[in-house]
Chains A and B, each alone.
Chain A
Amino acid sequence: MEDDLIDGQLSRTILDALNLKAFPLRKGTKSFEVPGWDSLSHVTVIMAVEDAYNVRFSTGDIVALQSVGDLERLLDRSKA
């Protein structure tokens, strides 16, 4: 299942935002399955990713996210 893991840099950015040392973030992982990733910390994660990659997501795109894989795909689209 290693190939299901998301990009390492993105994973580190998310875990740092959540103050987590380690947690396997797979494409299908949902935010509520990750320790500390609740509705109030969601904005912290999004801002950390935006700052790390110098991108800005639309509110609609953020609301539509269902999984970590969705976030990775949104990031790829935004960087393109």
Chain B
Amino acid sequence: MISESSADPGFGAALQLPNATLSSVWAANAARLGDALAVSHWADGRITHRYSWRDLFAEAKQVANWLRTLGVVQGQVCALLLRPDSAFYPLYMGVVLAGAMPSVVAYPNERLHPQKFRDGLQGMAAKSGLDWMLTDAELHARFSDLLDAPSIQIALISDRPWKTHAQLSEINVAHASPDDTCLLQHSSGTTGLQKGVALSHRAVLEHAHRYGNAIAIDARDSVASWLPLYHDMGLIAAFHVPLAFGIPIVQLDAFTWVVRPGELLNAIAHERATLCWLPNFAFNLIADRVRSSEIPEDACASMRLITSCSEPVRSSSVKRLHDKLTPFGLRPHSIGASFAMAETTFAITQTPIGTAPVVEQVSRAAIGTGVALVATDGEPARACVSSGRVIDGCSVRIVDGNGLRVADGTIGGIEVQSVSLFNGYRHNEAATARVFRDRWFVTGDVGYVRSDELFVMGREKDLIIVAGKNIYPEDVEDAVGRVDGVTAGRAVAFEMDDEQRGTGQVAVVVETAETSLDELKALRSRVARVGTDFDVPINHVFFAAPRWLIKSSSGKLSRKDNGARAMAELEDVIWKTT
């Protein structure tokens, strides 16, 4: 029997104790909340498992005992590589209770080439030092040659082998220091060059506490999420934050969500969830690919905050989701935005509760000169959406190319500080040193601040500079991706050298189903015309067959990789007529 959680004077108290660790906070929550709902796991459109706090913590202690029996020792890294499954939650927590560091790894889907998966895993193992691989029998059979590497020990988790073990006694739970690393998160990428972000107990709990305050979290809240748990938004916002406060987690299988995005709304309606985090593309998917006739009445009546994060926030997407869900009870000003990254545990900024993200129409001509001037009427403009204001314990500064702070409204590199900063990239001091300047973390993102609001415009390394003019590839891709004949959203913009003029040129690779030469010529003209519409010369257009563009494991189209591949394989990539 799982009871509804209710107002509790102990809410969040364990988080603020001086020597708090994940284990101590979870133990306090289990004792405080007992039969209250901890996790509701959904798959195939239905609840497949519900954990009370008592049951979840008890099973986590069984996992910890099982791991100790296997030989897992404090400080080792345990990679968790399993399909979305309700066994994940006690397994993850059990690794922490045993004193080891969990690292959630993306389960390979059938589209991922086996060699890319091998490269990625081998890179992770070599760079981060994966001591254990906790996985299922199916994956072990598929990759036994790789997983059986002498440096990695395998433990199969199918059928929950820990269920025959006693719970690890409280006295044997690993006693960690708050500054010990408690988990390892890997940045996206499939190249094997992923860096392991090491986070301490203190960083995770400080972040939960301060971010919880920023979103006014309370005992009546619950989180609904389909986000994969190898990503910081899923792992921190939708898993660690609710675990730290003891509010329910409603977790959907990501594979289910992507074929039936409306399932998220069903789960929100059924569980009366109040908080949700989504990347921008999910806004569009829900707005466009969920039939209104299949959304439960008042599905969003309980929802008080949907936060857009991890992708540039588009005002059109925010409006579309708002318009879609308002008839189903979504209240005004319940969509916000956040700027976040794994290296700062998660969030740096958040839209203040009860307000809508600030949107500015910024002159494209001014952007090209590095200044975010509000456009005059009729002037070509870019809608810039604020990611909100800096949360407690964090700082933001905008700097120029020399690392000097610039005035509000000036576009520059975004650097941040946080009390929840990571412990560095594991086993990679050189990479860690490269991302700091005067104790500020260099995010690699570009944007500006105005009236204490942070506007993120894109990634610095992808910036295209043509004759001194800054062009953000997101802008080009957004426009080209909507050209008739281009597979929607499947365009990548990158810079090509113009040796003769000594500057860059704009190139795009687009996916198209068009096959005849005449059609491709016409499409090329349409793409080029879009560029001239906002004064961006598109000099090179590469046509590729659908599904040619490479995505990283986080689902983002890689500009660098796709640009290099387009230039190298051009003859092979054109979708030829037959």
Contacts and interface: CB of A to CB of B under 8 A. Distances in A.
A19 B514 CA distance: 9
A60 B110 CA distance: 18
A43 to B, nearest CB: 5
Given A19-B487, A58-B45, A59-B44, A35 B547 contact: yes
Given A35-B546, A43-B289, A19 B513 contact: yes
Interface residues of B, number: 25
Interface of B is mostly: loop
Nearest to A46: B259
Interface in A19-74: 19-21, 30, 32, 35-40, 42-44, 46-47, 58-60, 62-63
A39 B44 CA distance: 16
Q: Which of A18, A35, A37 has the most CB of B within 10 A?
A: A35
B545 A59 contact: no
Contacts of B263: 59
Contact of A32 (B44, B111, B253): B111
A18 B512 CA distance: 11
B375 interface: no
Contacts of A30: 110
Interface string B240-269: 000000000000010110111101000000
A38 B513 contact: no
B256 A47 contact: no
Contacts, number: 61
B547 A63 contact: no
A59 B513 contact: no
Given A37-B547, A59-B260, A62-B259, A21 B281 contact: no
A45 to B, nearest CB: 10
Interface in B28-60: 44-45
Interface residues of A, number: 22
A6 B200 CA distance: 54
Interface of A is mostly: helix
Contacts of B258: 39-40, 42-43
Nearest to B511: A36
B291 interface: yes
B267 to A, nearest CB: 11
Contact of A35 (B261, B281, B291, B545): B545
A19 B335 CA distance: 32
Contacts of B285: 40, 43
Top 6 A-B residue pairs of the complex, sorted by shortest distance between their CB atoms = A35-B546, A36-B546, A59-B45, A60-B44, A32-B111, A59-B260
24 contacts: A18-B513, A19-B487, A20-B513, A30-B110, A32-B547, A35-B545, A36-B487, A36-B511, A37-B546, A37-B547, A38-B111, A38-B547, A40-B258, A43-B260, A43-B285, A44-B289, A47-B289, A58-B44, A59-B45, A59-B259, A60-B44, A62-B259, A62-B260, A63-B256
Interface of A: 18-21, 30, 32, 35-40, 42-44, 46-47, 58-60, 62-63
Interface of B: 44-45, 109-111, 253, 255-256, 258-261, 263, 281, 285, 289, 291, 487, 511, 513, 515, 545-547, 575
Given A32-B111, A58-B44, 5 more contacts: A21-B513, A30-B110, A39-B109, A42-B259, A43-B260
